[in-house]
Structure 1
Amino acid sequence: MTYQGVLTKMTTEFTEPIQYYLIFENDFIHINQLLDKTIQLEFVGYQCLSCGLNKPIYRQGFCKSCFFDIPQAADWIIKPELSKAHLNQEERDLEYEKRVQLQPHIVYLANSSNVKVGVTRKSQVPTRWIDQGAHEAIEIVEVPNRYLAGITEVALKDFVADKTNWRNMLKNDIEDENLVEWRNRLEVHIPEEAKPYYIANNTETNMVFPVHHYPIKPKSLNIIKSETYVGKLVGIKGQYLIFEDDTVFNIRSNEGLVVRLNIA
């Protein structure tokens, strides 16, 4: 069976284990069904997720010109504390910025390689945690806009990590943590503007990933450089495909690439 299309991050379904789907223009692939099958992955070209042109991808699935122009790639996406829509101030497209920024956001703790703090729109829970490969997560505050979530995250980063060690996450080199206790300890460090939105009574959410074998020494696949790769799929975690020879392929970081999949 052969499929070809533009990579975008895998769609997920919160079940036990997590179900993964890769959506191409003309195909809908249930990735869980490919576990223990041999896959040939070929690099075909580029297709910017914004303009659709065959131009090298710069970041986040966008070509360089789109990345520095479109609102979907503005600085507040990565740094929510820079959000200004609540002040009616435009960065690139005020209508878009209001639509995304002025909706409920969650500040959370997630444990994937270690306990980290993060921000996501409420509508993206638990998708965001799944994409990060977290096996457990908990909400800390639910605020009405992205700015409040951003300043809360910045304040908490002095006391908890804000990044995931992707190698440890993929090796499953992790320990269970009591995230309720973490949440309670961090409450005193929440900024005054966000304190009314603290969530005092909730429990952890747990995720189980479809992995038959974890890599010992994960090796990241650069499909542009290698052009083709063949391997047996043995797991899916976060947005990574895990192969039997410890090769891992991050779908999210390769968005905008046109690839061909041949399934043995």
Structure 2
Amino acid sequence: MIYTGVLTKMQTEFKDPIQYYLVFKNDFIHVNQLLDKNIQMKFVGEECLNCHLNKEIYRQGFCKSCFFDTPNAGDWIMRPELSTAHLGKEDRDLKYEKKVQLQPHIVYLANSSNVKVGVTRKVQVPTRWIDQGAHEAIEIVEVPNRYLAGITEVALKDYVADKTNWRKMLKNDVEDENLKEWRERLKAYIPSEAKDYFIAHNEETHLKFPVHQYPEKPKSLNLKKEGSYSGKLVGVKGQYLIFEDNTVFNIRANEGLVVEIGI
């Protein structure tokens, strides 16, 4: 069977293990059902996730013009501390920015390759942790807007990582950490504006991924460059497909590619 569609990040369900779905315009694939099966992927073209035109993808699934125009790619997306909707100041589209920025946000600790601090909207818990391949996570601050979450993250980055080592995460070269102890150690460094939002009593969330075999030396597939690929799927973690030959394919990093998937 052949499925054709535009890649967007896999949709997930928080179950044991995590359930993954590739969703296309008129169909979807339950990725967990493909484990231990050979699949083929072929690069067909590109389609911007914003204007939906057949244009070269620049970043984050957008063509170059849309990347610098759509509010979905404003600098505050990657750098929450730059959010200004709480001040009534527009970046690209104030109505959209108010909708996204002026809602509860979580500052969290997640352990994927190491303990890291991050920010997400409350409605994105635990989806954000799944996408990062974290096997454990905990909320440490819940604030009413994205700006407060952003300045909290910036303050804590001096004392804990804010990036994931994707190779280490995929190799499952990780150790369990006591995130509640980490939370208590970092409490002193939370900015004064956010101290009242500290979450003192909650438990770690543990996540289990559908992986039958972890890669020893993960090698990233550039499907656009290679044109096609065929291999046995042995796992899914974060937004990565993991194949038996150590090839890994980052769905999120390839959003906007039009592909054919043969099963």
Q: Same fold (TM over 0.5)?
A: yes
Provide the secondary structure at the position in 2 that maps to 1:155. Answer: helix
Report the equivalent of 1:69: 69
* Structure 2 Cα separation of the partners of residues 32 and 11 of structure 1: 12
CA shift, 1:115, in A, is 0.1
Report the equivalent of 2:157: 157
- Does 2:209 match 1:209? yes
Report the equivalent of 2:176: 176
Cα offsets for 1:108-147 (capped at 9, x unmatched): 0000000000000000000000000000000010000000
CA shift, 1:20, in A, is 0.2
Report the equivalent of 1:54: 54
Report the equivalent of 1:10: 10
* Structure 1 Cα separation of the partners of residues 27 and 44 of structure 2: 17
* Structure 2 Cα separation of the partners of residues 261 and 236 of structure 1: 16
* Structure 1 Cα separation of the partners of residues 18 and 86 of structure 2: 35
Provide the secondary structure at the position in 2 that maps to 1:202. Answer: coil
Q: Which amino acid aligns with 1:74?
A: G
Report the equivalent of 1:186: 186
Provide the secondary structure at the position in 2 that maps to 1:100. Answer: helix
Report the equivalent of 2:243: 243
Report the equivalent of 2:228: 228
CA shift, 1:89, in A, is 0.2
> What is the correspondence of 1:77-96 to structure 2 with a 5 Å cutoff?
77-96=77-96
CA shift, 1:15, in A, is 0.3
* Structure 1 Cα separation of the partners of residues 108 and 192 of structure 2: 17
- Does 2:132 match 1:132? yes
Q: Which amino acid aligns with 2:248?
A: V
Cα offsets for 1:179-233 (capped at 9, x unmatched): 0000000000000000000000001000000000000000000000000000000
CA shift, 1:26, in A, is 1.3
- Does 2:27 match 1:27? yes
CA shift, 1:160, in A, is 0.0
Report the equivalent of 1:38: 38
Report the equivalent of 1:198: 198
Q: Which amino acid aligns with 1:46?
A: E
Q: CA RMSD in A?
A: 0.3
Q: Which amino acid aligns with 2:51?
A: C
Q: Which amino acid aligns with 2:243?
A: F
Cα offsets for 1:30-63 (capped at 9, x unmatched): 0000000101000000010000001110100000
Provide the secondary structure at the position in 1 that maps to 2:232. Answer: strand
* Structure 1 Cα separation of the partners of residues 120 and 58 of structure 2: 23
Unaligned runs of 5+ in 1: none
Report the equivalent of 2:115: 115
Q: Which amino acid aligns with 1:66?
A: C
Provide the secondary structure at the position in 2 that maps to 1:209. Answer: coil
Number of aligned positions between the proteins: 263
CA shift, 1:28, in A, is 1.3
* Structure 1 Cα separation of the partners of residues 97 and 183 of structure 2: 29
* Structure 1 Cα separation of the partners of residues 141 and 63 of structure 2: 35
* Structure 2 Cα separation of the partners of residues 108 and 57 of structure 1: 31
Give the TM-score of the pair, scaled to structure 1: 0.99
Provide the secondary structure at the position in 2 that maps to 1:152. Answer: helix
- Does 2:156 match 1:147? no
Provide the secondary structure at the position in 2 that maps to 1:225. Answer: helix
